[in-house]
């Protein structure tokens, strides 16, 4: 029972505009380091599975750039969705392909655009989860120990402790909670036993396909219809793919299944939700600035300056700004409005300025 | 006695970086409107003299761009200094050339990078000054009625009223004052009879060359040595030009001569000293922003946004900023530090980043 890594890389984030574009989402950008987030995810997963057991689910438009970031992967293991149909469909597609090459596989499923450190603890956590999935046949999610009452994530309410594997606790799952308000989040932390839902899963391909058949039979039917392409390892037809219900795996399967467990993770985790994440992930200089590319600053404090090597950004007496320069667009945004970058994207779209999207 | 217009366009301003560069000074930029300041100056002067009596003094590096902005001028009337030797030398060069084609000429001398409105009042003022220079043989400077106790300009202390020409008062000049401190500037305004020195002059070429011989005999000697080139209308030799003393005409001649007069001007005048001038010269939108190029702003107030047609600048919750985007450089500067743009240029120079200068 070997581990297969499935990296979900199909997002279309708008929060990293103008570096992030329609065809160049967060995972293809060098956010946390000089390498793309996808590249960092591949490096992080390498100890779990070699390239021949690593899969990426992306979409048609990003497939070429994705392959370029993952040159070690066989082209057939980069699965390009012809439509966006959310995580249940993306994972079902990967599971159906993996089942055909290794019916005993253990799947490790995780997003391409999170930062997890240190890599050794990441690998040990997922190896323990894989061992539990192998032994117990359960559907396992990795829960993140909350560092505060965040309202930006879903929560996992755990039940009793059911096992310990390689020093990692395994707990049953009582329920999945939507993103809470501040008061509810504080209640979760006070009660204890709540973890952030990071969208990372470990299970055997058999257990997953069983659960799919039981809880999302519509998905199973699409896979059945897709059997010729899946057998041949060719791209799924757009017409068939469009039939998948648009539902996240959390809601479609995890909330409904009874054999769900959580393994609390002790690693540092960041979902890199906006440009503001760079303050956490990158070193700051003596003035509190995070800088990439060429910058000349006078009286510049606590700014995030994302430039280029052939372009200088200069700043005079500014503070707490996010400044991003690309060849065709510049962003100057107050740090406390980092979330509103997507409003800029929406306004450009409304104005028909598609060239900037 | 015909008017010859002499436009001084040899500056190397750094305050409009990054739009302004070493080889692209303020007068070649579209600051006050969509046309360059030099182009606007040419249009403003057209009623005073036709193209065949209009001259521009610039320098070697900017000569090509200057000619492009002034296609109606004969190439021989664009005088390119091989070295920067300040206004006394630039004007002496022009005077010596003009004397050879029209020894009776009246010279109107003014910088290429000021904004003067309305054009009708400009023309009437300088025509009156030309008439006085013709009749009295005096050296006339146009003084600007101060709108406040500015410390950024030199002042002209006027004496008694000596004449009136076409409704314009002509006063004697007691002294030229360097840029004053705030208290002295306030004293000037309280005393009355003080005007801003705008570096604009009207005189007969004969009166100017007389004054040059008397007060700057070194300049006269250089002109004598240059006679063959001046006779031929060819470019002055770099070796000879380097011999000119580096002195402004105000100090070299106007402060020393006894036949100096001032005509107070009633037109609006702006020396466009920094990006901040755009707040005065360009229309603001409903949020107090001055915008050129493509801009998408959310909660953006009182900013000066200088963009491009093929590049979008987007701003979220910012105020009182100057934002300028060019292909290889971006400026984000607090409005109250507009003067410090030159410090950015100095730092780039110190770092050897000449590509951005």
Provide the pLDDT for residue A245. 97
Q: What percent of chain A has pLDDT over 70?
A: 99
B24 and B83 in a single domain? The answer is yes
Provide the pLDDT for residue B280. 93
Average pLDDT, integer, range A204-215: 98
B298–A343: do the CB atoms touch at under 8 Å? yes
B316–A341: do the CB atoms touch at under 8 Å? yes
Give yes or no for A311 touching B (CB within 8 A): yes
Q: What percent of chain A has pLDDT over 90?
A: 96
Residue A196, domain extent: 3-270
Provide the pLDDT for residue B23. 85
B318–A333: do the CB atoms touch at under 8 Å? yes
Average pLDDT, integer, range A209-232: 97
> Given CA atoms A83, A89, A92, A96 in this order, what sign does their dihedral have?
negative
B316–A310: do the CB atoms touch at under 8 Å? no
pTM beyond cutoff 0.80 = yes
A232 and A124 in a single domain? The answer is yes
Average pLDDT, integer, range A205-226: 98
Measured between alpha carbons, how far is A15 from A150 in angstroms, rounded to an integer?
19
B324 and B346 in a single domain? The answer is yes
Q: Which residue of A has its CA nearest to B350?
A: A296
Give the residue from A317, A332, A338 with the most B CB atoms within 10 Å of its CB, the best one to mutate.
Answer: A332
Alpha carbons within 13 A on the beta-carbon side of A353:
19
A257 and A299 in a single domain? The answer is no
Give the residue from A21, A295, A306, A316 with the most B CB atoms within 10 Å of its CB, the best one to mutate.
Answer: A316
Type and span of the H or E element at A59: strand A54-59
Sequence-separated (6 or more) residues with CB below 8 Å from residue A237: A82, A226, A229
List the pLDDT tens digit at each of the 357 positions of chain B. Answer: 899 999 999 876 689 999 999 888 999 999 999 999 999 999 999 999 999 999 999 999 899 999 999 999 999 999 999 999 999 999 999 999 999 999 999 999 999 999 999 999 999 999 999 999 999 999 999 999 999 999 999 999 999 999 999 999 999 999 999 999 999 999 999 999 999 999 999 999 999 999 999 999 999 999 999 999 999 999 999 999 999 999 999 999 999 999 999 999 989 999 999 999 999 999 999 999 999 999 999 999 999 999 999 999 999 999 999 999 999 999 999 999 999 999 999 999 999 999 999
**Final residue of a structural domain among B203, B235, B270:** B270
Average pLDDT, integer, range A73-83: 96
Number of domains in chain B: 2
Count Cβ atoms within 10 A of the Cβ of residue A58 and give its class: 0-12 exposed, 13-18 middle, 19 or more buried: buried
B252 and B155 in a single domain? The answer is yes
A215 and A330 in a single domain? The answer is no
Is-contact B37 B272, C-beta < 8 A? yes
Arithmetic mean of pLDDT over chain A: 96
A82 and A202 in a single domain? The answer is yes
B291 and B261 in a single domain? The answer is no
Q: What value, to the nearest 5°, has the Cα angle with vertex B145 and ends B139 and B151? A: 100
A200 and A243 in a single domain? The answer is yes
- Strand B139-144 with B194-204, pairing: antiparallel
Provide the pLDDT for residue B12. 67
Give yes or no for a cis peptide into A143 (omega within 30° of 0): no
Sequence-separated (6 or more) residues with CB below 8 Å from residue A205: A4, A95, A98, A99, A102, A103, A104, A105, A106, A107
Q: What value, to the nearest 5°, has the Cα angle with vertex A21 and ends A65 and A267? A: 75
Residue A36: pLDDT band (50, 70, 90) is: very high
Provide the pLDDT for residue A76. 94
CATH assignment of the domain containing A82 = 3.90.550.10
Provide the pLDDT for residue B57. 97
Provide the pLDDT for residue A135. 97
Average pLDDT, integer, range A149-170: 96
Provide the pLDDT for residue B216. 98
* Chain B partners within 8 Å of A334 (Cβ): 316-318
**Final residue of a structural domain among A242, A270, A298:** A270
A325–B327: do the CB atoms touch at under 8 Å? no
Give yes or no for A252 touching B (CB within 8 A): no
Provide the pLDDT for residue A297. 97
A341–B311: do the CB atoms touch at under 8 Å? no
B88 and B235 in a single domain? The answer is yes
B291 and B262 in a single domain? The answer is no
**Final residue of a structural domain among A247, A270, A293:** A270
Give yes or no for A347 touching B (CB within 8 A): yes
pLDDT, tens digit (0-9, with 9 covering 90-100), for A308-318: 999 999 999 99
pLDDT over threshold 90, residue A11: no
A71 and A190 in a single domain? The answer is yes
Measured between alpha carbons, how far is B196 from A178 in angstroms, rounded to an integer?
68
Q: What is the ipTM of this complex?
A: 0.89
Partner residue facing B330 (CB), from A313, A321, A348: A313
């Amino acid at each position: 029972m070997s581990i297969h890594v499935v990296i979900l890389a199909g997002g279309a984030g708008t929060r990293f505009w103008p570096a992030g574009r329609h065809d160049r989402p967060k995972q293809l950008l060098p956010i946390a380091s000089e390498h793309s987030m996808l590249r960092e995810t591949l490096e992080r997963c390498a100890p779990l599975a070699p390239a021949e057991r690593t899969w990426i689910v992306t979409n048609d438009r990003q497939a070429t750039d994705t392959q370029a970031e993952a040159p070690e992967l066989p082209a057939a293991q980069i699965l390009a969705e012809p439509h966006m149909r959310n995580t249940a469909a993306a994972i079902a597609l990967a599971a159906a392909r993996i089942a055909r090459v290794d019916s005993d596989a253990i799947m490790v499923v995780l997003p391409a655009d999170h930062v997890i450190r240190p890599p050794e603890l990441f690998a040990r956590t997922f190896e323990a989860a894989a061992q539990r999935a192998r032994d117990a046949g359960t559907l396992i999610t990795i829960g993140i120990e909350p560092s505060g009452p965040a309202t930006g994530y879903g929560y996992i309410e755990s039940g009793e402790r059911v096992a310990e594997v390689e020093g990692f606790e395994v707990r049953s799952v009582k329920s999945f909670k939507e993103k809470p308000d501040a008061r509810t989040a504080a209640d979760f932390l006070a009660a204890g036993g709540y973890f952030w839902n990071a969208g990372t899963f470990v299970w055997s391909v058999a257990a997953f396909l069983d659960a799919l058949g039981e809880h999302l039979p519509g998905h199973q039917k699409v896979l059945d219809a897709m059997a010729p392409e899946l057998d041949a390892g060719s791209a799924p037809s757009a017409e068939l793919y469009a039939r998948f219900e648009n539902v996240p795996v959390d809601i479609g399967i995890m909330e409904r299944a009874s054999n769900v467990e959580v393994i609390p993770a002790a690693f540092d985790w960041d979902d890199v939700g906006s440009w503001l994440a760079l303050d956490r992930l990158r070193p700051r200089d003596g003035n509190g600035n995070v800088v990439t590319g060429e910058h000349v600053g006078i009286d510049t404090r606590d700014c995030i300056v994302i430039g280029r090597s052939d372009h200088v950004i200069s700043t005079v007496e500014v503070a707490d700004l996010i400044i991003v320069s690309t060849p065709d667009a510049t962003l100057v945004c107050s740090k406390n409005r980092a979330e509103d970058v997507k409003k800029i994207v929406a306004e450009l779209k409304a104005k028909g300025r598609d060239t900037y999207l």
